[in-house]
Amino acid sequence: MASFFDRLGFNRKGSKETLKDRLELVLAYDRAKIAPGKVDALREDLLAVVKKYFPTEGSNIEVEQRGDTIMLVANIPLEKEGAPGKR
Amino acid sequence: MNAKVIVVTSGKGGVGKTTTTANIGVGLAKLGEKVAVIDVDVGLRNLDVVMGLESRVVFDLIDVIEGKCRLQQALIRDKRVENLYLLPASQTRDKDALDPEVFKTAVKQLIEEEQFDRVLIDSPAGIESGFRTAAAPAQGALVVVNPEVSSVRDADRIIGLLEAQQISEINLVINRLRPKMVASGNMLSEADVLEILGVKPIGIIPEDEGILVSTNIGEPAVLGQSVAGQAFMATARRLRGEDLAFPKLEEDRGFMAVLRRLFGGK
Ligand SMILES: Nc1ncnc2c1ncn2[C@@H]1O[C@H](COP(=O)(O)OP(=O)(O)OP(=O)(O)O)[C@@H](O)[C@H]1O
Ligand SMILES: [Mg+2]
C-alpha cells in the first residue's frame, strides 16, 4: 500500500519497491510454470491438514524463492508437552 | 457504444492496450456495469499484473477452453470494485492453443449465461492470428493510438482489418498525448489524428507518470485522481453514451500535481 509519504514522493521507498516485490514473485511462478493462486490453495489445504494433527497456532507455510527455484517452506512447531492432537 | 463485446487493439505494440483495457474495465464497473476483462496475449500475459490480480490466478482462458475448469472458476473477482472480473491468459502455452471459434463460444457464454454487460478483450500486438482471435467475438473496437507516425499508420491498417471483420463500432483512444508538445507544434493533435484517420476519438489520455506508478502498485489509474485516471474515467462515460466534452489537457507536473497526489489519492 502506498503511504501518504510515498504519494508525495518524499519517501525513498516509492512504488518501485512494491513493483520489485510483485515482479520477483510473479517471475518465480512464471519460471516454475505454476499459477500463484494454485499454490495459495495448496497452502491452505496443507495448513488445514497440519492443524488436524498438530492443533498449534504457530504453523505457517510460505512460498520462498531460493535462487531460481521456488519452494513451499513449512514451519510446524511441535508441542513441547507432547500433547496428542485431536484426531 | 452499443457493442457488448469490445476488442482493445492497436497494431503497433506498447501503445497502451493493456493499460486502456484495465482502466476502461474498472471505469465501466465503477459506473455500474458487470464487466469481464479478458487477456488474449497467450504466453505473454500482463493484464493480471496491471490490474494487480496476479497472485490470485488459478486457472486461465486455455484451461477453460480445454475443459480443465468451468468458466466461473477461471474468473477472478476484483475485490476493489463491484462486478469486475478478470479472465487471465495462459502464461505457459502459445497462441495456437486458442482457436477463434472456441473463444467466441466462451465469450458468448459470458454474455448469455453469466449476464455480463460488457466484455473487454485485450488484444496482443500485431495483425496476425493473436489479433484475429481477439477480434473474433467482438462487435466493437477501441483502437489505441499514440500521436506519432508508426502508431497512426498501424491504427489505419487495423481499422481496415476490423471493418473487413464486420466490426461496425470502431472508436479511437488517443493515448500518451503531450499537451506541451502539441502546443509547440511538435506533436500531432487530436484534430490532426481525426483528420488523418477519419475516426473520432472517444478518449484522449495524456502522458502521465501516474500511469507508471499505478502500474507499479497494481492499481489502475481510474481508482485514483491522476489526470490520466480522470481521462480514462471520462472515456468510460463516453463509451456509455454520455456526451462529455474533452477538457483542455495540462501536463500533470508542478504544484497542482503535488496537491492532487496529496489530497486525491494516487
Ligand atoms: N498515458 C500514459 N502515460 C504514461 N505511460 C503510459 C501511458 N499509457 C501507457 N503507458 C506505459 O506504456 C507502456 C506500454 O503500455 P501497455 O502495456 O498498456 O501497452 P500495450 O499496447 O498493451 O503493449 P503490448 O503491445 O506489448 O501488449 C507501459 O509501461 C505503460 O505504463
Ligand atoms: Mg498489452
Give tens-digit pLDDT for A30-57: 888 888 888 888 888 998 888 888 777 7
Angle at B210 between CA B194 and CA B218, to 5 degrees: 110
Q: Residue A81 has what pLDDT?
A: 59
Q: Does A76 touch chain B (CB under 8 A)?
A: no
User: Cβ(B123) to ligand 1 under 6 A?
Assistant: no
The size of the A-B interface in CB pairs under 8 A is 57
Q: Does B225 touch chain A (CB under 8 A)?
A: no
Q: Residue A7 has what pLDDT?
A: 52
Cβ separation of A37 and B56 shorter than 8 Å?
yes
Give tens-digit pLDDT for B192-240: 999 999 988 999 999 999 999 999 999 999 999 999 999 999 999 999 9
Cβ separation of B213 and A15 shorter than 8 Å?
yes
Instruction: Closest CB to B262: pick one of A1, A8, A30.
Output: A8
Q: What CA–CA distance (Å, rounded) separates B101 from A40?
A: 33
Maximum distance among all Cα pairs of chain A, rounded to whole angstroms: 54
Give the number of whichever ligand sits closest to the CA of residue B143: 1
Q: Does A27 touch chain B (CB under 8 A)?
A: no
Q: Residue B150 has what pLDDT?
A: 95
Map out the domains of chain A as residue ranges. 36-79
Which pTM value belongs to this model?
0.87
Structure-block grid coordinates of residue B191:
484534430
Chain B, 77 to 136: residues with Cβ < 8 Å from chain A are 91-92
CATH code matching the domain that covers B5-262, chosen among 3.30.750.24, 3.40.50.300, 3.20.80.10, 3.90.550.10: 3.40.50.300
Q: What is the mean pLDDT of chain A?
A: 77
Map out the domains of chain B as residue ranges. 5-262
Q: What CA–CA distance (Å, rounded) separates B215 from A21?
A: 13
Tell me the residue type at B114: E
Q: Residue A1 above 50 pLDDT?
A: no
Q: Residue B239 has what pLDDT?
A: 98
**Span from the CA of B257 to the centroid of ligand 1 (angstroms):** 21
Q: Which of B7, B9, B12, B18 to mutate to test the pocket of ligand 1 (most atoms within 8 A of CB)?
A: B18
Give tens-digit pLDDT for B149-169: 999 999 999 999 999 998 989
Q: Residue A20 above 60 pLDDT?
A: yes
At residue B12 the predicted structure's pLDDT band, cuts being 50, 70 and 90, is: very high
Q: What single string gives the DSSP state of each residue in chain B?
A: ---SEEEEE-SSTTSSHHHHHHHHHHHHHHTT--EEEEE--TTS--HHHHHT-GGG--S-HHHHHTTSS-HHHHPEEPSSSTTEEEEPPPSSS-GGG--HHHHHHHHHHHHHTS--SEEEEEPPSSSSHHHHHHHTT-SEEEEEE-SSHHHHHHHHHHHHHHHHTT--EEEEEEEEE-HHHHHTT-S--HHHHHHHH---EEEEEE--HHHHHHHHHT--GGGS--HHHHHHHHHHHHHTT---PPPPP--S-HHHHHHHHHHH--
Cβ separation of B216 and A15 shorter than 8 Å?
yes
Evaluated on CA atoms B150, B153, B155, B160, the torsion sign reads: negative
CB < 8 Å to B91, chain A: 30, 33
Q: Please name the helix (run of DSSP H) or strand (run of DSSP E) that holds residue A30, with its range, or none.
A: helix A15-32
Cβ separation of B261 and A19 shorter than 8 Å?
no
Q: Residue B127 above 80 pLDDT?
A: yes
The dihedral region occupied by B107, where left means phi > 0, alpha psi between -120 and 50, and beta the remainder, is: alpha
